[in-house]
Amino acid sequence: MGTIRFREVGKTYPGKEPVVALDRVNLEIGEGEFVALLGPSGCGKSTLLNLVAGFEDMTSGTLSFNGGAVSSPGPERAVVFQEAALLPWLTVAQNIAFGPSVQRKARAEYEPKIRELLRLVGLERFADALPSQLSGGMRQRVGIARALVMDPKALLMDEPFGALDAQTRMSMHQLLLDVWQSLGTTVLFVTHDIDEAILLADRICIMSARPGRITHEIAVELRRPRSVDQLTDPAFIRHKAEIMAEMRAAQKEHA
Ligand SMILES: Nc1ncnc2c1ncn2[C@@H]1O[C@H](COP(=O)(O)OP(=O)(O)OP(=O)(O)O)[C@@H](O)[C@H]1O
Ligand SMILES: [Mg+2]
């Protein structure tokens, strides 16, 4: 459950000057795997993630999730964006419960789940707070809980911590590592941030500038469970040097 498979996937946005956002992308993500997608702005990272989410249609190739074709959004593929678009008139607990309540699930069925998720993301004391009373990091934690409430098989994250300050981002990294460790959900994580990619992922796919292709893959050799202390690990520094060299080479090629 939670496997994602791209075969020769292309995506062109039509228009007077069509934009080739993805070109023959091949990518397989296994059950429970944590894959980071790293690349320069505009290389097609969000496009790739949006295809898995079912928000966009591809132009060529095939894309499957758990062996079935992806054609529309579904609760088994939850998305977390840079800004958690919370409903401002609902409390934290009500925001998390929004999905199941829209699906007309019985309250008794999801109520214990909401409590468990509030605990998992460290917001028990803020269950009745309104989004306006939360910090950016807390709002993003609600966003993660809201994604997890549907028991997704895959968590699709598009620069989820990009707007947070360094300190908050670090605590979110630890939180995500803990959540992933305890739930075993497949994660596709889009980022610009090399450190973040190495710290979190099992595998890093580097994309070239437009038209977006995956040009390089790195299996991260940091032991699990991970912690932010590993930022100074020799393996971490080795990976970072390799990725920076790869990205510089890709930039030169593009120039
Ligand atoms: N709806 C759209 N219509 C037309 N072109 C689009 C659309 N969405 C994205 N593009 C174009 O496709 C290319 C890839 O965009 P995408 O948003 O996937 O990049 P990205 O890697 O996520 O960039 P960033 O890191 O800045 O978020 C860009 O050139 C962008 O202008
Ligand atoms: Mg993007």
Positions in the chain short of pLDDT 70:
254-255
| Cβ of 46 less than 6 Å from ligand 1 | yes
pLDDT at residue 106, rounded to an integer: 85
Please tell me the distance from the alpha carbon of residue 68 to that of residue 175, in angstroms, as a whole number.
Answer: 31
- Cα 214 to Cα 23: distance, rounded to the nearest angstrom: 9
Identify which of 154, 94, 83, 136 has the alpha carbon closest to the alpha carbon of residue 118: 94
Instruction: Output the pLDDT for position 36.
Output: 98
- 20 close to ligand 1 (CB < 6 Angstrom): no
Pocket test of ligand 1: the residue of 11, 13, 55 to mutate, having most ligand atoms within 8 Å of its CB, is 13
> How many Cβ atoms are within 10 Å of 108's Cβ, its own excluded?
7
Please tell me the predicted confidence (pLDDT) of residue 105.
83
CATH number assigned to the domain with residue range 4-76+153-253, chosen from the 4 options 3.40.50.1370, 3.40.190.10, 2.60.120.310, 3.40.50.300:
3.40.50.300
Q: Is 125 helix (H, G, I), strand (E, B) or coil?
A: helix
Q: What is the residue extent of each domain of the chain? A: 4-76+153-253, 84-151
Ligand 1 atom closest to the CA of 190, numbered from 1: 22
Using a 10 angstrom Cβ sphere, with 0-12 exposed, 13-18 middle and 19 or more buried, the burial of residue 51 is: buried
**pLDDT, tens digit, 9 for 90 and up, residues 56-94:** 999 999 999 999 999 899 999 999 998 888 999 999 999
Whether a cis peptide bond, with omega within 30° of 0, leads into 14 is no
C-alpha of residue 103 to centroid of ligand 2, in Å: 29
Q: Indicate the SS3 state at residue 209.
A: coil
The confidence score (pLDDT) of residue 132 equals 96
Determine the distance separating the centroid of ligand 2 and the alpha carbon of 45, expressed in angstroms.
6
Q: Nearest 5°: phi and psi at 151?
A: 55, 55
- Testing ligand 1's pocket by substitution, the residue of 23, 43, 190 carrying the most ligand atoms inside 8 A of its CB is 43
Closest listed residue to residue 141, CA positions, set 190, 101, 93: 93
| pLDDT the model gives residue 254 | 67
pLDDT attached to residue 255 = 67
pTM over 0.85: yes
Q: Which of 130, 135, 201, 202 is nearest to 169 (CA)?
A: 135
